[in-house]
Chain A
Amino acid sequence: MSAPSTTPSPVTTPRRARVAGRTKLDFWFDAVILLAYTVAYSYGFTGVVIHEWLGIGIGIALLLHLTLHWDWVIRTTRRLFDPRGHDRVIWLVNLALLFAMTLCVASGIAISRVALPELGITTLQTPFWLRLHVLTAEVTVGLVPVHVALRWRWIAGVGRRVLVWRPRGRSR
């Protein structure tokens, strides 16, 4: 459709880096997970039904989140003992978060009183899983913000490009 002559010159048109689709997906998907986690943690706000269904949804979302960043996991794990390797602190925080979040969701499923019984699945309801759920929930509420904050430069950079309103025709 556009002839070469009508293509705006890069000199005259202000150029702005476009956000890659994958980066946008990461940004919005992570934002939704954080929001969902914040709501799900606020048990007194949601009540038991929403808390349980949201928790199951977060469990599935975390599997996808981890899959989307699996390359980073492999790359960073390989370079863990490399003296020039970065991201050691982030790797450790993420590992702790993986354990805490997985056990939190698993124990939440084990003690489910509404969601799983609704699907006809009998749950365990033992004191161990109840206490593990409380403990891991307290750990995750400390680790999730750290996990987010350690990437604040990426979030600020992408957020600035994704959230800033751009008048039509100024870029591209």
Chain B
Amino acid sequence: MKFLRQFAAVVTVVAVVVLLGLAWNRFAPRLPGEGPGGEAVPVQGNMVKALPHAGKLSSGAGPGAHGVLRINGGGALGLDLGDLLQPENLAVLRYTAELEAVIIAAVVIVNASYRSLRRSRRSKTSVPPPRDTDLS
């Protein structure tokens, strides 16, 4: 019951965000750093308008998420799973994984340094009072 209640709350929040997106489209359909109309890219005979990560198509395995893009005729049954194992396409996946790994490493280093700095500061400020060694 609790799960359903929380799930309903999550769906509501997500719906609000989607509505904000729809309002953005309705009242100010402009995005930062983009010209009007989007980019048109021909891909193996198909015209694809500014597909995500398909801005630059190269014959080889270019860096980034860009790379060889094969578009099937359509339909879930038209899955060409053989393409997934193409070495040039694997380079795209490797690039994404490397990008994520670099960001994770950077944040972990910054976070760990910040924590150790804070710990050392705290230990400096909380110096215990000098012991009274005079036992007489």
Give A contacts to B, CB under 8 Å: 38-39, 41-50, 53, 63-64, 66-67, 70-71, 98-99, 102-103, 106-108, 113-115, 117-118, 125-135, 137, 141-142, 144-146, 148-150, 152
Contact = CB atoms under 8 A, between A and B. Distances in A.
A123 to B, nearest CB: 13
A44 B53 contact: yes
Interface string B73-98: 01110111001100001101101110
A42 B37 contact: no
B130 interface: no
A47 B72 contact: yes
B6 A42 contact: no
Contacts of B100: 38, 141, 144-145, 148
A47 B14 contact: no
B38 A63 contact: no
A12 to B, nearest CB: 36
B52 A145 contact: no
Contact of A117 (B6, B33, B74, B103): B74
B25 A103 contact: no
A142 B76 contact: no
A115 B31 CA distance: 26
Main secondary structure of the interface of A (DSSP, over half): helix
12 contacts: A42-B65, A44-B67, A45-B84, A47-B70, A47-B72, A49-B78, A102-B18, A114-B76, A127-B38, A132-B21, A149-B111, A150-B107
A38 B103 CA distance: 13
A46 B108 contact: no
A116 to B, nearest CB: 11
Contacts of A67: 3, 6-7, 10
B79 A50 contact: yes
B117 interface: no
B93 A38 contact: yes
B92 A44 contact: yes
A149 B102 CA distance: 10
Given A49-B76, A134-B52, A141-B99, A43 B14 contact: no
Contacts of B13: 66, 98
B50 A43 contact: no
Given A38-B100, A103-B17, 14 more contacts: A44-B69, A44-B89, A48-B71, A49-B74, A63-B14, A67-B6, A130-B38, A131-B34, A132-B25, A133-B52, A141-B100, A145-B99, A149-B105, A152-B104
A44 B88 CA distance: 9
A115 B78 CA distance: 11
Contacts of B53: 41-44, 134, 137
B71 to A, nearest CB: 5
A98 B17 contact: yes
A69 B104 CA distance: 21
